[in-house]
């Protein structure tokens, strides 16, 4: 289901903006990382840009969303990765014609992480490093006209946020530099390699958010929001649900809605 469908002006280009997969602000104490991260699409004519690509669990959903837009993975021209953790980066290899944008600092860090001791999907990152699709970028680099990368380290050493300028308002993809509304409001973070760097990045994101009155923030694990009287307000309904078999009957499904 399309959550957002609006037009954003990037330079002189109008992009259609869709949230493909909502990020979810939670984790599991019993089953490891939950990893439900935000995936969004910016498209205009023959340009189709995906911001973060999720992990294995969203592959069928991602294909479905592309189909609903009349697209295939071959139509994606660019992927913007906020960082190299598994829940944001694994599916980069689904898009054979896309330039894969990743922070140079983050890529160098990920390649040197010891196997099995971080959230880096080692084999996928090594394959990306060898791929001619890879494009390494740095702080304040303009990716395409109107889309700028912002190094927002802490969660990972070379994490990038992305801002999309449409003139009247920007859309800011914060990735996991600010994973959810709670981190933005508390100005504190869960899961970071450097708390001081993360706190600096939170301040940086707030400054970006406040630059224009109607700016939109899309966190890595939450739904889009804007500032109303200085406070973040959600722009859409949260859609998160589990279907569970708790009985002996396969047709007897228990729905667990994960909404506030």
CATH number at residue 129: 3.60.15.10
Q: Which domain holds residue 223?
A: 6-257
Strand order in the sheet with 225-228: 142-144, 147-151, 160-165, 170-175, 216-219, 225-228, 231-234
DSSP letter for 29, please.
S
Cβ-in-10-Å burial (0-12, 13-18, 19+) of 8 comes to buried
Q: What is the rounded distance in angstroms from the CA atom of residue 7 to the CA atom of residue 17?
A: 6
Which residues on adjacent β-strands are paired with residue 101? Answer: 80, 135
DSSP letter (8 states) at residue 200: H
82-137 confidence digits (pLDDT tens): 999 999 999 999 999 999 999 999 999 999 999 988 999 999 999 999 999 999 99
- Does residue 119 form part of some domain? yes
**Backbone phi, then psi, for 30, in 5-degree steps?**
-110, -20
Distance, in Å, from the CA atom of 178 to the CA atom of 232, rounded to the nearest integer, reads 13
pLDDT at residue 3, rounded to an integer:
42
Percentage above 70 pLDDT, the chain: 95
Is residue 117 one of the residues assigned to a domain? yes
The predicted-structure confidence for 219-240, as pLDDT tens digits, reads as follows 999 999 999 999 999 999 999 9
In-domain check, residue 1: no
Total domain count, the chain: 1
Q: What is the dihedral of CA 54, 80, 164, 218, to 10 degrees?
A: 20
pLDDT in tens, 30-58: 998 889 999 999 987 789 999 999 999 99
Residue closest to 82 by CA, chosen among 128, 150, 130, 169:
150
CB atoms within 10 A of CB 118: 16
Strand partners, 44: 47
What is the reported pLDDT for 2?
42
CB distance 218 to 25 below 8 Å: no
Does residue 74 fall inside a structural domain? yes
Q: Is residue 161 part of a domain?
A: yes
146 sits in the region (left: phi over 0; alpha: psi -120 to 50; else beta) called left
Asked whether residue 28 is assigned to any structural domain, the reply reads yes
Sign of the dihedral defined by the CA atoms of residues 106, 112, 115, 116, in that order = negative
Beta carbons of 24 and 36 less than 8 angstroms apart:
yes
The pTM of the full predicted model, rounded to 2 decimals, is: 0.93
């Amino acid at each position: 289901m399309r959550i957002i469908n609006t037009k954003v002006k990037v330079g002189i280009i109008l992009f259609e903006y869709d949230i493909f997969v909502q990020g979810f602000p939670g984790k599991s104490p019993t089953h490891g990382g939950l990893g439900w991260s935000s995936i969004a699409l910016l498209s205009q004519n023959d340009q189709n840009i995906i911001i973060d690509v999720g992990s294995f669990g969203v592959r069928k959903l991602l294909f479905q969303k592309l189909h609903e837009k009349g697209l295939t993975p071959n139509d994606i021209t660019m992927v913007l990765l906020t960082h190299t953790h598994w829940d944001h980066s694994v599916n980069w290899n689904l898009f054979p014609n896309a330039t894969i944008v990743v922070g140079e600092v983050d890529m160098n860090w990920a390649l040197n992480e010891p196997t099995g001791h971080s959230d880096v999907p080692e084999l996928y990152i090594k394959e990306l490093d060898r791929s001619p699709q890879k494009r390494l970028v740095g702080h304040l680099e303009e990716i395409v006209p109107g889309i700028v990368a912002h190094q927002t380290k802490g969660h990972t050493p070379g994490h990038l946020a992305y801002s999309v300028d449409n003139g009247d308002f920007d859309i800011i993809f914060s990735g996991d530099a600010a994973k959810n509304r709670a981190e933005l409001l508390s100005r504190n973070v869960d899961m970071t390699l450097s708390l001081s760097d993360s706190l600096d990045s939170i301040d940086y994101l707030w400054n970006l958010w406040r630059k224009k009155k109607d700016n939109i923030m899309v966190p890595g694990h939450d739904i889009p929001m804007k500032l109303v009287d200085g406070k973040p307000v959600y722009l859409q309904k949260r859609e998160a649900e589990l279907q569970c078999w708790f009985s002996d009957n396969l047709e007897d499904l228990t729905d667990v809605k994960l909404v506030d």
